[in-house]
């Protein structure tokens, strides 16, 4: 079977099962199987696909239909212009989180020293690696999952950045002070997880479940971070689209000042930032 036929048949199949972005996902699968860049797919359309490629392609189509995110099939996701290795052990980095990275970079513009930053709940290490690639920083990243930290280490090495990795349940094993603490913690309400799309539910529940009201980890971050921040230190977190006022209140009640929220490109509240004096 020619590559062109795989492209056509795969698109038809995913469309029949109402899989979103069917043609995009089929193209991504073909690029992955053929080990080529997007711009070269047209050159290969009239080539015969090997039986192995055809079989793997069909297997991956079935995985997509069953709800497996394509990023877990290709072990790849772009974030902040960088390609990250990911698998089922970590949350898939999303473009919305880039707003958090951009804000930290903007804050660091006005510093004369090299800031020391902790990325807590680092997962794949996307935030930590992106920051280390963009600015001079002493970067520490932590996660409760040893498997997640293995992936974060893999991504740090592949991008040539130095990150100190620590396995820790939130601040349990953290024994340093930082200029900034950044986090994209779990923030989905427990009861809401069952109503999510199959693709999202295939991501690690530990990285999704923010407790009964979705605010569990913001309370921990706000209460504990002040013990690990230097004077005038900054705490910056990603939030759910409807959590702005709740998280700002948590920050204020914990003693953070000058707190503010920022929206993503879709106009949804996406991050909250506070300063500890």
Q: Are 57 and 33 in contact (CB under 8 A)?
A: yes
| Percent of the chain that is helix, strand, coil (3-state, to 5) | 45, 20, 35
pLDDT given at position 143: 98
Which residue, of 21, 36, 66, is where some domain finishes? 66
Which residue, of 66, 90, 110, is where some domain finishes? 66
Nearest in space to 254 (alpha carbons), one of 237, 270, 242? 237
Domain assignment present for residue 73? The answer is: no
- Taking only the tens place, the pLDDT of each residue in 208-235 is 999 999 999 999 999 999 999 999 999 9
State whether 160 and 266 are in the same domain.
yes
Give, rounded to a whole angstrom, the gap between the first and last alpha carbons of the chain: 66
User: Is it the case that residue 238 has pLDDT exceeding 90?
Assistant: yes
Predicted confidence band of residue 38 (pLDDT cuts 50, 70, 90): confident
Predicted confidence band of residue 43 (pLDDT cuts 50, 70, 90): confident
State whether 48 and 96 are in the same domain.
no
Q: Are 48 and 2 in contact (CB under 8 A)?
A: yes
pLDDT given at position 58: 97
Parallel/antiparallel/unpaired status of strands 178-183 and 116-120: parallel
- Taking only the tens place, the pLDDT of each residue in 262-274 is 999 999 999 999 9
State whether 184 and 53 are in the same domain.
no
- Taking only the tens place, the pLDDT of each residue in 8-27 is 999 999 999 999 999 999 99
State whether 39 and 109 are in the same domain.
no
Per the structure, the count of domains in the chain is: 2
The residue with tokens 């690639």 is 133
Domain that holds residue 38: 3-66
Three-class secondary structure of residue 145 per DSSP: coil
CA 109 to chain centre: 24
Which residue, of 43, 66, 89, is where some domain finishes? 66
State whether 105 and 44 are in the same domain.
no
State whether 93 and 29 are in the same domain.
no
Q: Are 178 and 234 in contact (CB under 8 A)?
A: no
pTM of structure: 0.95
Distance CA 2, CA 10 (A): 12
Residue 232: left (phi > 0), alpha (psi -120 to 50), or beta?
left
State whether 13 and 91 are in the same domain.
no
State whether 89 and 185 are in the same domain.
yes
State whether 56 and 184 are in the same domain.
no
**Mean of pLDDT values over 172-201:** 95
Dihedral of the alpha carbons of 15, 18, 22, 25, in degrees to the nearest 10: -130
User: Is it the case that residue 186 has pLDDT exceeding 90?
Assistant: yes
Domain assignment present for residue 254? The answer is: yes
Token code pair at residue 10: 């795969």
Distance CA 123, CA 89 (A): 8
User: Is it the case that residue 122 has pLDDT exceeding 90?
Assistant: yes
Domain assignment present for residue 72? The answer is: no
DSSP characters over 184-212: ----B-GGGGGGS-HHHHTS-GGGTB--T
CATH number, domain of 196, equals 3.40.50.150
pLDDT given at position 272: 98
State whether 182 and 105 are in the same domain.
yes
Domain assignment present for residue 71? The answer is: no
State whether 214 and 237 are in the same domain.
yes
- Taking only the tens place, the pLDDT of each residue in 67-90 is 999 999 999 999 999 999 999 999
User: Is it the case that residue 29 has pLDDT exceeding 90?
Assistant: yes
State whether 24 and 45 are in the same domain.
yes
Share of the chain above pLDDT 90, in %: 94
Domain assignment present for residue 86? The answer is: yes
């Amino acid at each position: 079977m020619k590559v062109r036929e795989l492209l056509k048949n795969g698109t038809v199949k995913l469309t029949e099962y109402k899989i979103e972005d069917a043609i995009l996902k089929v193209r991504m699968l073909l690029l992955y199987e053929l080990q080529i860049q997007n711009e070269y797919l047209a050159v290969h359309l009239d080539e015969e696909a090997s039986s192995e490629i055809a079989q793997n392609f069909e297997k991956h189509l079935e995985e997509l239909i069953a709800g497996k995110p394509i990023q877990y099939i290709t072990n790849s996701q772009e974030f902040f212009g960088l390609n990250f290795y990911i698998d089922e052990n970590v949350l898939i980095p999303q473009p919305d989180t880039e707003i958090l990275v951009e804000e930290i970079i903007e804050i660091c513009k006005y510093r004369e020293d090299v800031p020391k930053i902790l990325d807590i709940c680092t997962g794949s290490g996307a935030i930590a690696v992106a920051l280390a690639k963009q600015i001079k920083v002493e970067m520490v990243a932590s996660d409760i999952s040893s498997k997640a930290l293995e992936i974060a280490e893999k991504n740090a090495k592949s991008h040539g950045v130095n990150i100190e990795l620590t396995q820790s349940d939130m601040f349990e094993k953290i024994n340093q002070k930082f200029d900034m603490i950044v986090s994209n913690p779990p923030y989905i309400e427990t009861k809401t997880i069952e109503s999510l799309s199959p693709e999202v539910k295939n991501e690690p529940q530990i990285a999704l479940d923010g407790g009964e009201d979705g605010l569990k980890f913001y309370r921990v971050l706000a209460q504990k971070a002040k013990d690990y921040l230097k004077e005038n230190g900054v705490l910056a977190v990603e939030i759910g689209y409807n959590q702005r006022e709740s998280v700002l209140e948590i920050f204020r009640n914990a003693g953070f000042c000058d707190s503010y929220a920022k929206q993503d490109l879709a106009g949804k509240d996406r991050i909250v930032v506070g300063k500890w004096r």
